[in-house]
Each structure stands twice: as C-alpha cells, then as structure tokens.
Structure 1
Amino acid sequence: MPEPTTSQVRPDAHGRTVRRRAVVIGGGLAGMLAAGALRGAVDEVLVVENDHLPDRPLPRRGLPQARHAHMLWSGGARAAEALLPGITDRWLAAGANRIPVPTGMVALSGQGWFRRWDRETHFVIGCSRDLLDSVVRDLVLAGGGVAVLQGTRVEGLSGSASRVTGVRVRGADGRRRTLDADFVVEASGRGSRAPRYLADLGVRPAPERALDLGLVYATRVFRAPAGSAGFPIVSVHADPRGGRPGQSASILPVEDGRWIVTQTGTREGEPTGDAEDFEAFARRLRHPVVGEIISRLEPLTGVTVSRSTHNTRRYFERVRAWPERFVVLGDALAAFNPVYGHGMSVAAQSAAVLREKARARGVDAPHLARQVQRAMAKRVDAAWDLATGQDIFYPGVRGGSPNRRDRILACYVNRLVTTSCGSFAMVKDLTDVTSLQTPLAALARPRVLLGAVRGPRRPPLTGPPLTARELALVHAPTGT
C-alpha cells in the first residue's frame, strides 16, 4: 500500500495518527471500481457484499443479468484504465476481445445498415460479464488496502441527515453491528435501498424517474465456428419510431470460442424462454441475419430470460441538503435499458470522478460528497438522454410520453444515424457520443449540423456487410 498522504491521515486531539476507512456497499463492478477509486485517499477500503463472490469467472446470485451480452464501450474502458492501470491488457489476456468500431460491427440501425469503414473510431471490450468482473475484482484486491466483507447485509446508514458516519450491517450469523467510516459509497445496483437509508436519516427524498418498456431479454450461448477469431458483432436493432414493439438481436463474440446471442423485445413483442422459438424469433426481425447465422451453430446452454430492464434515474444531485461523506453511483444512481450497453461505462466514469475529487481534496473536505454527486450526474446525462430519447417512442411504454423536445431530438438523431450510414465523418461524431467519450451536446456543433444537412455521402447498403470470409464461416457445414 502507498505511503499515507495528507488526505489519508489526521491527528486526533492528542496528536496521534488516525487511520481512515471508506466503506463501499456492493461488491459488483461499480463497487469494485469505487473501491479502486478510493484507494489512496484513505488507508482502508472495506467492501460490504451480501453474496459470496467467486474466486474466478463464475456466475453469482446477485447478478442474474450477467448471462446476457455485455459490452464495455471505449469511454468506459479508458476510465477503468485510468483507475486501474493495466486492466485492459488483463481483460485481453483472460480472453476478452477488443472489437474496433465501426470496423468490427455489422449493425442494422433504424435507418439502415452501418458501413464497416476501414478506420477505427472507437472500440468495445467484448467478453462475458463474469470474466469482466473477475478481472476487475482480482486487480483491485491484489493492490492492497481493499478488503471484502462477504455474506453481510447492509441494513442502513449511521449518522445524521447532515453527515453519514458508517453503515449498519447484519452478518450471516445474524449478528448486527455498525461499521464506522470516514466515507461511504452506495453501489449495490438496481435493487439499491439508498432512498430508504436516506429517509431513515431524515434526508429529503430525491426526485426519481422511471421509463418501463416491459423489456424482456432472452440469451443463449453458442459454440463459435472454428477459425472465427476477429468475427464482428452482429446486431439487428429495433426502430423506436416504427409504431411496433421493439425487437432486436445481437451476436457478441466472447472468450473461450463462444458467442453470446441476446434477443430483446418490448411490451407485446417479448421473446420467450423456449429454446425452440429462439432461432425463429431472430428470423422474424427486420432482417433475419442473426437467425440465419445461429441456425448452423451448436447451442451450449438453454435460454436465460430477464425482465428487470427498465430505465430508472434518481436525481440525488438535486437534494439541496445532501449529507456529507456519502455518494451513490452505478445502477443505484441510474439504471439504463441494457440494449445500449452504457451502464458499465457510466459506472467506470463515475468512479473516475470520485477518484479525482477524493484525491484532490480529501474525503473529509466540506461539501465533497455533493460535488461528486453533481459531477457524476453529468456523466449520466448523455447515456440517459440517448436511452430515454429513443425508448419513450415504443408502444406501451410506461412512465411518460414524448414531449416536443423528445420529438425534435429524435428527429435530429435519426438524421444523424441516416447520414452515418454513408459518412465516415458522421460515424466518428456519432460514436464519440455513443461511446461516452463526449457529451451529447457535441452533436450540436456547427460541423455536425452541416454534415446532417448534407446527408450521407454514399448510397445505403442493401444487406449486412459481412465479408466473404465471414460468410464462408457461418455457412460452413456444422462441425467443420
């Protein structure tokens, strides 16, 4: 562990050094990134986790959505790299794929097929969620200064409405105790009880918004064809403004010669858990390419279904009297429709904000927690607007209807996507935002506006841009 800095230690009334502890609620990806962010700002980080974490890439009970396809966009990967130097190389060494964008993507948007330009704009890390989490967990815990208290349930916060001083927990043996802390991070995911914890301390509730599409995810894992290294992500997206339930499917190459195939459907268009219908669902989409590809593949698993996939945001940054030394990040702050692949990236960027401010000012700096919460909200904004700005148009959505701003933004984004299908410059500008490396406002720059007016530079593609080699792979007889 690094030598204590002035932000780590403080003298008590007798001039003795006092060690500082941070507690992180939740040992998932967001929690481990938060622990990595706080290491160096305190002497000890204690991660409190209700589950028992595996010691290798295996499923865990508290993360049922891990079975589905997960992508970490370059904006999130770079934030994670800043927090944990070397993490990208470790993911790749463990079997993850670095997939270039748009070169390594065959994607049908609502406005047509994207071209696979021979120049990379950004990238995604493609692997199973189990592998991604395991590599992060191993690196964080190997660095010293971070410990995990497993099988322990957090029951509330200690302190007052003005300052959080620790967490109240109950162990597997039923024994209750309070863990004192100089700083507390809530990162327990979609099921976070942060609103209740804060209410118990007398903190006024934060505004919330939820947008529920009735979205269902269905996933099956297949054995990849021999020699398929470097195969692209293949996706058929829904058209939010098409007046029909949103249905999509994607193929994500992951580690160990496997492809994760995930299908989604909004209310009245949901996929089922029936293995016999899995291929048929993919063939019924706006283009049957995913169904055609998997028809020749060997399934390695049954079908896994998830339903807790609505967009939820808690505006903690708007709470005027926010308690000192307490922040919320990850899905506990904002949970997105997983189809956009932004949740993990936003968590990494939020943890990077926490690290920057905690190290610069010290965890006991006045109003630090409120400043961190406000700064993290800016990282959430782009992903939230991208998700809800599209999702609000699906039939049967609950939680709101499109207003004038939504309609104007959707029309403009549609024009940008249409242009991107035939313009490399526009693809670069659009993926700057979708990869979460620039804010949504960047799409209003004069150069982007002019490009949208000019429109695509090349004619639309009539089918999926698979190469001859890729077509040969997916059409080869089974077992070759």
Structure 2
Amino acid sequence: MNIASHRSPARAVVVGGSIAGMLAAAAVKDYVDHVEIVEAHELPDGPEPRTGVPQAAHIHFLQTGGAEAIETLLPGSIDLLLAAGAHRIPVTTNMLIYSPEGWYRRWQRATHYLITASRDLTDFIVREQVLKDPRVGVRTHTRAVGLLGDRRTVTGVRVRTNDGAEAELRTDLVIDASGRGTRMPQWLAGLGINGLRQARIDSGLVYASRIYRAPFPTRGWPVVGVQADPRLPRPGSAGGILPIEGDRWHVSVMGAPGGHPTHDAGAFEPFARTLRHPLLADLLAYAEPLTDVSLTHSTTNRRYYYERLTHWPDGLLALGDSVAAFNPVYGQGISVAAQGAVALRHLLSNGLGPGLAHHTQRAIARPINSAWALATGQDIHFSTTKGKSPNLADRVLHRYVSRLSRTSTGSFLAATALTDVLALQTAPTTLIHPRVLLTALLGPLRSPLDRPQFTPSERDALNSLAKASGALE
C-alpha cells in the first residue's frame, strides 16, 4: 500500500537509532503495522554510551516543551526518568544563571522546568519505552545507503550490512533520523530533486566536559550557568553544572577561537576560573572528578530547508539533526526533535493522503524555526562566527533582547516572557508583544544582584565544606 492512499501506511522504516529515531518510531507506531529502525551500530541494553554519539559526553537537558512532547509520545517517560535519578529543575527557582546582563533572580513562582540527566540515561529510557512495543524492531549493524523510488514517491531504502551485503527494504514511509551525518541531500539529488537551500552558522565554540562526584546529595541542588557575553573584547566563553543521576555533576565549559578549552584534565578547572564569574571553579574545588575530559568541535548550527523545496516526494520525511543541528550550548536539540515527532504523529492521526509528507515536513520546521532564531540570533554576534554577520535589524533586535534580559533580572514578567520562549513553548515573536515591550522599556523593578543567590541551606552546605577543607571564607 502506498503512503499516498487514504489508508494508513502498513510499514515504516526509520534511518537511525538515535533519540530522534526512537521518537519518530514512537510517533508512527500506532498508525502502521510495523516500524523497522535501521541502525549502523549496536544499541546498548542499559543507560550506557551509544556508539556514534560523541555529544553524549556533554551536558544535556530537556526544555519544558521537549519534556511535554516526549510525554505526549511516550506517556510515563518523565516519571521513569525521575525514578532513575534525573532531576526536575524549576525555572528559574532552582537556577543560578549569570547572564551577560547580570544574575537572574530565583523567582519562587516557577513557570517552567528542565529535566537534567546524563544523555545515556535519557536515551535509554526513551529507547526502552519504544522497543518494548512488538510493532517496533531494530536492524543493527546496517546502514541506509540510498532511497528507492522517484521524485514523486519514495518506496523504500537500500541498506548495507557491515559485511557488505545489500538489500532493499520496501516500505510506505521512510524517516531519516540519521543525525548530523545525514546523506539526505545527496539522496534527494539522486532522485532529481535539486535546489535545496541550507545554512551554516559556526561560532567556533569548543566544548570540554567531565563528570564529577558532587560533594553533597544533589537532589534539589540548582543548575549553575555562566553565559558568554559577545560584547567583551575577548573570546567568548561559558560553562555550566547540571545535577544528574547518582549524586553527580555533569560539567561543561566552552570557549571560542583564541580561547578554546583542551583535553588536559589539569587545565579544566583553571579554564572554568577564567569565565566571567569564578562560581563553577569555586564549586568544583570541592568535587571529585570521575572521568577524563571529553572535547568536541561539533557545535555548528546547520539547517536544511526541506520544507521550502518545490518538489518533495510522498513517503519521505526527515527529523532531528538530519534537518537542523544546533549549537548545543542552547540545549534545544532533543526537545526540537520531540516536538517535530509530535507534529508527525498529529498529521498521521488525521489520515492525510497525498501530500502528507510535504505537510509534515513543514510542520516539523515550525519548532525548528523558533530554536534556530534563538541559537543563531545569539551566535552571529560573536566576532569569531562564520556563515553570517549581523545586519542592522539583527543588531537592533539583539539590543532589545539584551535590554529585556537585563529587565528580567528584576522583573518576573520579563523573566517569564523570556523563559516562555527558551522553554520552546512560545514563538520568539511573543517577545515583541506590547506588554513585553512596555516591560522592557520600564526596566527592572528590583536592583540587580551582585552575587549568586544561594538559599540559606545551600550557603550552609558550602560553608560546611569550606570549614572541612580549612578554607572558610
């Protein structure tokens, strides 16, 4: 049966066992007879590293919009994550964030939340939920090497196993979730579909990360972040500490060209001390490193505008990093993939016939649009960025958002407007709503904080550590 019919497709193939691939399988499994995931590597049985995911070594979190999307696709998954040790962080109540405009207040009225955990744990919980469904299978050690069909309709994929054997998988729907290494542009060209637009915006940021044993139980401990300021006359740098399962801290530091972190474990904490505030280094002085330093240069924002193609074949979709990959400093990738999968599920539930794939690819682009505007709207203002320079409109918008950010350090309304967008629950255009514009014009209602806003219990814990180390301030 063909996807262009008014009945549901009988079979779907997902290229890639990534978290985006698993979420794609979750989206379609109720509307097909069978989903087969084609994965180049072995999939681990537990919350362990998965080959081909170098970014797993760096900090990850789910925005509210992403967590809610995963819960829509796989009900109960967030509770399973929390039961396995993940943390639910109320925004901004349990956050110590030093923005370019100052310290954000820890408002007691939390409007959103983050889910923090190791990437391995998040992958495992999602993977386990998907693969327990008998309608979903996995073909490991197998790569998709081409599409079957023509420019009107894709009818399957050609695959190759590690021993070189090739086979054709006939299917009604192919979903490419193969990530940053996608071959989709070349496959489309092979079908005679040309004119694909793409964008690459690279700030040159390098990530260095390691995991620490926290000096005290991390339940209830805040997220810590020191953000880069593109206005400073030095390479941009940033860092963050996320509480993860097992009373551990996942720590990442980032630096732009001219100020990159390195693999050197002995240089990790000194680099953290060079950030705009020494808070990360101060905290790490009490923690025990558990891993070596992992380094990555893969932080380019890259996007394919599939939704703008005049011709798009029925039976084909792309999701996750295969469509758009973001600078990971903004924590958007998994959440955007989950929202795209929800869009796919919604359109399949409507039983659309011809044009389903084109409609769906456009729907997948909507959450990408918001995340892309957030990520690239910041990155283009660093002097090291390649791919685009800010024009007059970009500079005016950046100045406005900076003013709104400064206002949010002392205004709950401004802080909520920003976090609505950062949580991927409203579009960036909401920031120019008249009420938000007026709030930004009035400025902060409270005086700025001159130091991180620790709670009394957090301060007592840190003082106890200082006494124990003989370094009481």
TM-score bracket, normalised by the shorter chain, equals over 0.9
Per the alignment, residue 8 of structure 1 pairs with 8
Per the alignment, residue 376 of structure 1 pairs with 364
- What are the within-5 Å matches in structure 2 for residues 158-177 of structure 1? 158-177=148-167
- What are the within-5 Å matches in structure 2 for residues 92-241 of structure 1? 92-241=82-231
Per the alignment, residue 23 of structure 2 pairs with 33
Letter in 2 for 1:236: V
Query: How far apart, in 1, do the equivalents of 2:465 and 2:406 lie?
Result: 36
Query: How far apart, in 1, do the equivalents of 2:462 and 2:451 lie?
Result: 16
Matched, 1:366 2:358: no
**Secondary structure of the equivalent of 2:96?**
strand
Per the alignment, residue 463 of structure 1 pairs with 451
Query: How far apart, in 2, do the equivalents of 1:55 and 1:444 lie?
Result: 47
**Secondary structure of the equivalent of 2:179?**
coil
CA contact (8 A) 1:267 1:395 kept: no
- Unmatched 5+ residue regions in structure 1? 1-5, 10-19
- What are the within-5 Å matches in structure 2 for residues 309-388 of structure 1? 309-362=299-352, 365-388=353-376
Per the alignment, residue 65 of structure 2 pairs with 75
CA contact (8 A) 2:319 2:341 kept: yes
Per the alignment, residue 389 of structure 1 pairs with 377
Query: How far apart, in 2, do the equivalents of 1:218 and 1:471 lie?
Result: 28
Matched, 1:423 2:442: no
- Unmatched 5+ residue regions in structure 2? 1-5
Query: How far apart, in 2, do the equivalents of 1:206 and 1:472 lie?
Result: 57
Query: How far apart, in 1, do the equivalents of 2:365 and 2:142 lie?
Result: 29
Deviation by residue 1:286-316 (Cα, 9 ceiling, x = unmatched): 1000001001111111111011111001101
Letter in 1 for 2:87: N
Per the alignment, residue 286 of structure 2 pairs with 296
Deviation, 1:475, is 4.5
Per the alignment, residue 472 of structure 1 pairs with 460
Q: CA RMSD in A?
A: 1.4
When residues 8 and 373 of structure 1 are mapped into structure 2, their CA distance, relative to the original with a 3 A threshold, is: closer
CA contact (8 A) 2:215 2:286 kept: no
For this pair of structures, how many residues does the alignment match?
463
CA contact (8 A) 1:336 1:342 kept: yes
CA contact (8 A) 2:25 2:130 kept: yes
Query: How far apart, in 1, do the equivalents of 2:395 and 2:169 lie?
Result: 49
Of residues 71, 90, 102 in structure 1, which corresponds to 2:80? Answer: 90
Letter in 2 for 1:155: V
Matched, 1:450 2:445: no
Deviation by residue 1:354-406 (Cα, 9 ceiling, x = unmatched): 000012125xx111111111111111111101111110011221111111221
Query: How far apart, in 2, do the equivalents of 1:372 and 1:228 lie?
Result: 41
Query: How far apart, in 1, do the equivalents of 2:262 and 2:459 lie?
Result: 28
Query: How far apart, in 2, do the equivalents of 1:165 and 1:441 lie?
Result: 39
CA contact (8 A) 2:236 2:255 kept: yes
CA contact (8 A) 1:198 1:205 kept: no
Name the % identity: 50
CA contact (8 A) 1:7 1:41 kept: no
Which runs of structure 1 show a deviation greater than 4 angstroms over 4 or more consecutive aligned residues?
A: none
Per the alignment, residue 238 of structure 2 pairs with 248
Per the alignment, residue 3 of structure 2 pairs with none
Deviation, 1:220, is 1.1
Deviation by residue 1:247-303 (Cα, 9 ceiling, x = unmatched): 011100000111001001111121111111111111111100000100111111111
Per the alignment, residue 17 of structure 1 pairs with none
Shifted more, 29-38 versus 189-198: the winner is 189-198
Query: How far apart, in 2, do the equivalents of 1:228 and 1:358 lie?
Result: 41
Per the alignment, residue 308 of structure 1 pairs with 298
Deviation, 1:243, is 3.8
Letter in 1 for 2:390: P
Per the alignment, residue 412 of structure 1 pairs with 400
Per the alignment, residue 55 of structure 1 pairs with 45
Deviation, 1:160, is 0.6
Letter in 1 for 2:191: L
Deviation by residue 1:192-237 (Cα, 9 ceiling, x = unmatched): 1111111111111410000111111000110012233210001000
Query: How far apart, in 2, do the equivalents of 1:430 and 1:212 lie?
Result: 24
Letter in 2 for 1:467: T
Query: How far apart, in 2, do the equivalents of 1:464 and 1:353 lie?
Result: 39
Letter in 1 for 2:366: K
CA contact (8 A) 2:235 2:258 kept: yes
